[in-house]
Amino acid sequence: MNNMNKDMDAETQSKMYQFQVIQQQMQQLDQQKAQIQQRMVEFDVTSTTVDALKEEDKEIIFPLGGGLFVEGTRSSIDRVLVPVGAGVLVRKKVSDAEVFIKQRKDEMMDALEQIDRQIVKMNDTSEMIMKDIQDKSKK
């Protein structure tokens, strides 16, 4: 009988550990989600700035990063520098930059949806584990 209580305690401890691991993973996913959402806000600002490039002689505030901006007037901007990876920038038409921004935002939306699905699965699993723990404690 005493051995049986020890086994149940070990099983309960194992389930509690699994529950805690899942909770930590869910917190990490929430952090990733917040980072992606922040990047999406940055792309929204970039998109607005790129849209403003189409209008000639319009005052534009250009974000420099780090919360710094510069005011200017568009005169003859028909190309922008677009990152292609490994710190490499390529000169592209403004319309191509708009496509790039949309693709990146779509990729981030897909990533957010994937994270949300993972969080739902992990939440379901953690609820099942907690139910098992509670059921065992009633016995």
- Residue 69 pairs with which residues in a beta bridge? 63
Q: What would the pLDDT profile of 56-88 be if each residue is shown by its tens digit? A: 777 777 777 788 888 877 666 778 888 888 989
pLDDT above 70 covers a percentage of the chain that reads 91
> Phi and psi (nearest 5°) for 66?
65, 25
Dist CA 77 CA 106 (whole Å): 26
- pLDDT value at 5 more than 60: no
Q: Which amino acid is at 1?
A: M
Q: What is the pTM of this model?
A: 0.74
Residue 1: per-residue pLDDT: 46
Asked whether 15 and 7 are in contact (CB, 8 A), the reply is: no
Q: What would the pLDDT profile of 100-116 be if each residue is shown by its tens digit? A: 999 999 999 999 999 99
For each of the domains in the chain, give its residue range(s) and CATH number, in order of start.
30-124 (1.10.287.370)
